[in-house]
Amino acid sequence: MRETNESALIARCQKGDRLAFEELIRRYMDKVYYLAYSVVKNHQDADDILQESFIRVYKSIKKFKERERFYPWLYRIVVNQAKSYLKKREQSFHYSSEERMVESAEVDERDIPVDILEEKELRQKINKAVDSLPPQQRLAIRLFEVEGLSMKETAEVLNCRVGTVKSHLHRARWALREKLKDVTKR
């Protein structure tokens, strides 16, 4: 089943239609997972947040107001779940970026063309720089620049004012410029 009209799909979900909810999950699962992973930097934790977020959506879908856009509403739920998860995790043990598990594929780099290696290296540097930003700045950059949400929608997801989003974006861009100086000089 592929429902094209999102508001009709949501209306069906609000009436308890499980097939409609499954379609909603299919539509947003990848985006929700990617957002959760961008916050927690761990695949298992991102899976947990994904599940918890969709459980929360299922329980709250009847409260969703038609005048709202679904995507920012969903993202607000995911961000709140991720923040809660991080708080719980930080309470149980000290977490630092050095302790994160890094996944690496064992590939003989001599078999890969130089331009692809350079692009991969550049992407890794950018990702590392973005990952080093404070959580609110990282989320603001991700939502506004990568996901294409408006300033207002980003503010709604982050539960702050538009001016605060602008401040987060300004600081994030400045920090990224500083961290990526050597890359931009090429």
Per-residue confidence (pLDDT) for residue 94, from 0 to 100: 42
Q: What is the mean pLDDT of residues 70-93?
A: 81
b/e code 172-184 from CB counts within 10 Å (16+ = b): beebbeebbeeee
Q: Which fold has domain 110-186?
A: Arc Repressor Mutant, subunit A (1.10.10)
Higher pLDDT, 77 or 122: 77
DSSP 79-134: HHHHHHHHHHHHHHS---GGGS--------GGGS-HHHHHHHHHHHHHHHHHHTS-
Per-residue confidence (pLDDT) for residue 91, from 0 to 100: 59
Which of 179, 181, 158 lies closest to 166, judged by CA?
Answer: 158
Model-wide pTM > 0.75:
no
Spatial distance between the Cα atoms of 59 and 54, rounded to a whole number of angstroms? 9
Per-residue confidence (pLDDT) for residue 57, from 0 to 100: 94
Domain(s) of CATH 1.10.10.10: residues in the chain: 110-186
The CATH classification of domain 1-101, taken from the options 2.40.50.140, 1.10.1740.10, 1.10.238.10, 1.10.3720.10:
1.10.1740.10
The amino acid sitting at 131 is D
Confidence of residue 156 (pLDDT cuts 50, 70, 90): confident
- Between the alpha carbon of residue 74 and those of residues 112, 124, 156, the distances in Å are 39, 28, 11
For the ranges 50-59, 62-71, 95-104, 108-117, the one whose mean pLDDT is highest: 50-59
Say which residue the tokens 């991720």 belong to: 82
Q: What is the mean pLDDT of residues 61-77?
A: 87
Per-residue confidence (pLDDT) for residue 101, from 0 to 100: 36
Say which residue the tokens 């993202």 belong to: 75
Per-residue confidence (pLDDT) for residue 114, from 0 to 100: 56
Reply yes or no on whether the pLDDT at 76 is more than 60. yes
Spatial distance between the Cα atoms of 69 and 79, rounded to a whole number of angstroms? 16
Per-residue confidence (pLDDT) for residue 184, from 0 to 100: 60
Reply yes or no on whether the pLDDT at 3 is more than 80. no
The amino acid sitting at 61 is I
Positive or negative, the CA dihedral 117, 119, 125, 127 is: negative
Spatial distance between the Cα atoms of 133 and 113, rounded to a whole number of angstroms? 31
Taking the CB of residue 136, how many other CB atoms lie within 10 A of it?
Answer: 18
Q: What is the mean pLDDT of residues 42-53?
A: 91
Domain(s) of CATH 1.10.1740.10: residues in the chain: 1-101
pLDDT digits (tens, 9 = 90+) for 160-176: 999 999 999 999 999 98
